[in-house]
Amino acid sequence: MIPKARKAVFPAAGLGTRFLPATKAQPKEMLPLVDKPLIQYGVEEAIHSGLQDIIIVTGRGKSAIEDHFDVSFELEHLLETRGKKDLLALVRGISDMIDISYVRQKEALGLGHAVLRAKELVGKEPFCVVLSDDVIDAEIPCLRQLQDVYEFYGASVVALMEVPKESISAYGVVDAEPVDHMGQSGRLFRIRNMVEKPKAEDAPSNLAIIGRYVLTPEIFTSIEAVEPGRGGEIQLTDGLKHLLRSRPVYGYKFEGKRYDAGDKLGFLQATVEFALKRYDLGGPFRQYLKSLPL
């Protein structure tokens, strides 16, 4: 029987340079989309996808993430004495959400290196990886979609998205052949090769890897085998390329919309669309946008 993934690793030790100066003293993962930090969207997606354990890879200056998911006695006491029951439930709900463990990446030596830091906590079982600055709005949570594929084939699966040629050089891009899956074609691919940030003319396809993965534990040995690249960084894409030599790796074009909230424009787009969807803010916010002389 194929074992299910139970744990999700959240690499959150990057420097967030694309969002300076906001990220100088504040983790990118704590930037609020409407009123919730980015990482909470990812954690909720993991919970709604059936995961039971969260492992967050943090670094220097990231303590706000731990505080956010911890109990806040003073705040809870204050809300209780003021009779603010709804807010109290909201705040308590965050710390009661799920078990979270933390591991540190002392230096930001790349996404592959960050994932490797979780090796001991993950153990020898399949696991998910969530990059919380990729916010995905989907009817069926993206991680759930990937796990359904994983549970069918028992092989690693990465999330894929079609990207226009002019922006493909910002992504890991796959060379892949389509596979019919559950009577569907055009969503599932068996990956032949992948290239990190290719020039548009060298890109093997328009299918880019997005920040959701289900990985088998062999990925750790593959990451360990990778030579560090520029700046001593170890890339997850290189680890996956190594894994491809001995194991199948699939890509799944998920259903849903992804926002690159680690980028200023992507963050603004996500903010507007999420605010418009909110039951309490959507109406007045739409009115306000309509009143602007655009």
Report the C-alpha gap between 248 and 155 in whole angstroms: 6
Shortest Å, Cβ 253 to ligand UTP = 20
Q: What is the largest CA-CA distance in the chain?
A: 63
Q: Give which of 22, 67, 69, 76 is closest to 46, Cα–Cα.
A: 69
Report the C-alpha gap between 208 and 164 in whole angstroms: 10
Shortest Å, Cβ 246 to ligand UTP = 25
Show the tokens assigned to 85. Answer: 């029951």
Q: 228: which DSSP letter?
A: P
Nearer to ligand UTP, 141 or 262 (CB): 262
Quickly count: other Cβ atoms within 10 Å of residue 218's Cβ: 16
Closest residue to ligand UTP, based on beta-carbon distance = 14
Nearer to ligand UTP, 110 or 141 (CB): 110
Nearer to ligand UTP, 62 or 242 (CB): 62
Report the C-alpha gap between 254 and 140 in whole angstroms: 9
Shortest Å, Cβ 248 to ligand UTP = 25
Nearer to ligand UTP, 113 or 187 (CB): 113
Shortest Å, Cβ 138 to ligand UTP = 19
Nearer to ligand UTP, 9 or 249 (CB): 9
What's the distance, CA 15 to chain centroid? Answer: 16
Shortest Å, Cβ 167 to ligand UTP = 14
Show the tokens assigned to 4. Answer: 């299910």
Nearer to ligand UTP, 23 or 147 (CB): 23
Report the C-alpha gap between 199 and 124 in whole angstroms: 36
Shortest Å, Cβ 276 to ligand UTP = 25
Shortest Å, Cβ 11 to ligand UTP = 3
Which residues here bind ligand UTP, judged by CB under 6 A? Answer: 11-19, 28, 57, 105, 108-111, 113-114, 131-133, 262
Nearer to ligand UTP, 135 or 176 (CB): 135
Report the C-alpha gap between 243 and 219 in whole angstroms: 6
Residue 73, SS3 per DSSP: helix
Report the C-alpha gap between 210 and 221 in whole angstroms: 22
